[in-house]
Structure 1
Amino acid sequence: MPSRIELANAIRALSMDAVQKAKSGHPGAPMGMADIAEVLWNDFLSHNPKNPNWSNRDRFVLSNGHGSMLIYSLLHLSGYDLSVEDLKQFRQMDSKTPGHPEYGYAPGVETTTGPLGQGVTNAVGMALAEKVLAAQFNKDDYAVVDHYTYTFLGDGCLMEGISHEACSLAGTHKLGKLIAFYDDNNISIDGEIEGWFTDDTPKRFESYGWQVIPAVDGHDPEQIKAAVEKAQAETGKPTLICCKTIIGKGSPNKAGSHDCHGAPLGDDEIAATRKELGWEHDPFVITQEIKDAWDGT
């Protein structure tokens, strides 16, 4: 049985390979958020790859949509109708895998994201819809509408005014089934963020009426799992899980820097990353054992 780190490394490998083949893209975020995504999708997310439009599915929104290979890797590994050939067409015209997630192309993509802050705002709307519909249709002995909305977001999303307004609204409406994961990696495409983003994000969200779970190691599956369980236990507030991550996790020479944010790693660095991760497989190759482990969840 593959380990959790091996399942997460499948995301890292597919992400760096697809970006490299496309000669453009953002490998850093998918590699940095792979461990969080693995725990969420394998332990918590309620969904059906054979019926992506199941009405009571949990919603997953990648607000930092430039990291689109994260969601494409997850959809492929989880058994959605998204093949390896589709991944190889990443960022190509008319493909199912455009550079930013677009609704209507790949099954399992809930909404178009890319403009920073838009995705978390969409997620607030989805969570509000869940609460309204649950109040209208649920009975004491039967919950017709009962699902979570999960969203991943980064520093760039939190710099945008639209995220401030939407997250304030989420707190006001006590959207307890909205859970946001903040990819706190301290890096933007221009470098470290201290020069232009100095907000105290946990205090800001607490002032909105959110539960905040700070200082979660975004590469420790047990900490991530405990944080999600705590988030689900709080039914009267939305939750922000602040995950400390390393952008480009696994890359020996580019992890933790803006060099892996918005450009391919390069052939030499990909070879070094494969060695660092213990990933001995060729580009785009996922072993049957790892496929079975993902599908089995």
Structure 2
Amino acid sequence: MAVATQTLEELCINSIRFLAIDAVEKAKSGHPGLPMGAAPMAFVLWDRFLRFNPKNPRWFDRDRFVLSAGHGCMLQYALLHLTGYDSVTINDIKNFRQWESATPGHPENFITPGVEVTTGPLGQGIANGVGLALAEAHLAAVFNKPGHSVIDHYTYVILGDGCNMEGVSGEACSLAGHLGLGKLIALYDDNHISIDGSTDVSFTEDVSKRFEAYGWHVLHVPNGNTDLDAIASAIATAKSVTDRPSMIKVTTTIGYGSPNKANTAGVHGAALGGDEVKLTREKLGWTFAPFDVPQDALHHLRKAV
């Protein structure tokens, strides 16, 4: 696919992917697989739904975004940079995982404005997301009056297979269902790969049925790699269900675009390597130099805000 044939949305999504690929490659450490696979759902969320202000990261009624799968933090750093947060410059992207950088190997909310909570320990982020949604519901109940909704925002969480394996996520999500936290929406990056290989070796339960049992509203996007409209439709439907939280299972391919490492554990927690980066650029039609972002993509993402 030549760059000339890429849609504007594809340019934006591939900008996210290659910032992640290039940053991990330069650091020779990190997790490129999740950003490569989850870039479409994250793009749709940030471009079409998320309410935020890069010039005022602490705007009180902003939507909250939590990357529970914090090891894939280059996804979040790329989005923060592309949407115009001063806290993540292109030099910060280039200094990913370096000492005293603004882009540590897992998101730290006290280091990087725009990061809501510190994540990394699997399951912790979705539990934090439940807490954020609970806080929104409580504040809305206390301060909102007829005709004056001063508290009115959503909490969105991207979580992975590893998060769903952890006990803390189960306890928190059970509570969210019990309390009917209708402004909590979790996007489950269903890629079936862990650092040990296929999840078939340890994790074969039906996650959707588990969340239904918790009392959640559950949807499924079978093609999270390219079906952007299906992702958007699922999020819009989830927003319309306000009496319970929603979980959207988005089936993706970890390391999407990598000819030899996509859908393998090899892309989960290690740099692709120079040869594979070159092949991935060729497969996705990406002719830009490392860390270069096409101006059309940058303009669109910063205009979307």
TM category (shorter chain) comes to over 0.9
Q: Say whether the 8 Å CA contact 2:23–2:94 is kept in structure 1.
A: yes
Q: Say whether the 8 Å CA contact 1:2–1:289 is kept in structure 2.
A: no
Question: 1:172 aligned to 156, 174, 178, which one?
Answer: 178
Tell me the secondary structure at the aligned position of residue 151 of structure 1.
strand
Give the match for residue 79 of structure 1: 84
Q: Is 2:255 aligned against 1:244?
A: no
- CA gap of 1:80–1:2, structure 2 versus 1, over 3 A, is farther
Deviation at 1:3, TM superposition (A): 2.0
Q: Say whether the 8 Å CA contact 1:216–1:224 is kept in structure 2.
A: no
Q: Say whether the 8 Å CA contact 1:171–1:209 is kept in structure 2.
A: yes
Q: Is 2:65 aligned against 1:60?
A: yes
Structure 1 residues without counterparts, runs of 5 or longer: none
Give the match for residue 163 of structure 2: 157
Deviation at 1:214, TM superposition (A): 2.2
Deviation at 1:2, TM superposition (A): 4.8
Q: Say whether the 8 Å CA contact 1:33–1:183 is kept in structure 2.
A: yes
Give the match for residue 205 of structure 2: 199
Q: Is 2:224 aligned against 1:210?
A: no
Q: Say whether the 8 Å CA contact 2:221–2:231 is kept in structure 1.
A: no
Structure 2 residues without counterparts, runs of 5 or longer: 1-5
**TM-score for the superposition, normalised by structure 2:** 0.96
Deviation at 1:216, TM superposition (A): 3.5
What is the letter of the counterpart of residue 239 of structure 1? Answer: S
Question: 1:221 aligned to 200, 217, 228, which one?
Answer: 228
**TM-score for the superposition, normalised by structure 1:** 0.99
What is the letter of the counterpart of residue 204 of structure 2? Answer: T
Counterpart CA distance in 2 for 1:171 and 1:104 is: 30
Deviation at 1:252, TM superposition (A): 1.0
Counterpart CA distance in 1 for 2:235 and 2:266 is: 31
Question: 2:25 aligned to 3, 6, 20, which one?
Answer: 20
Q: Is 2:300 aligned against 1:288?
A: no
Give the match for residue 93 of structure 1: 99
Q: How many residues are matched?
A: 297
Tell me the secondary structure at the aligned position of residue 183 of structure 1.
strand
RMSD over aligned CA atoms reads 0.9
Q: Say whether the 8 Å CA contact 1:216–1:227 is kept in structure 2.
A: no
Deviation at 1:64, TM superposition (A): 0.3
Question: 2:139 aligned to 128, 133, 151, which one?
Answer: 133
Counterpart CA distance in 1 for 2:162 and 2:183 is: 23
Tell me the secondary structure at the aligned position of residue 150 of structure 1.
strand
Deviation at 1:75, TM superposition (A): 0.1
Per-residue Cα deviation, 1:200-257 (whole angstroms, up to 9, x for no partner): 1111100110000024421210100000011001000100000000000111111111
Give the match for residue 3 of structure 2: none
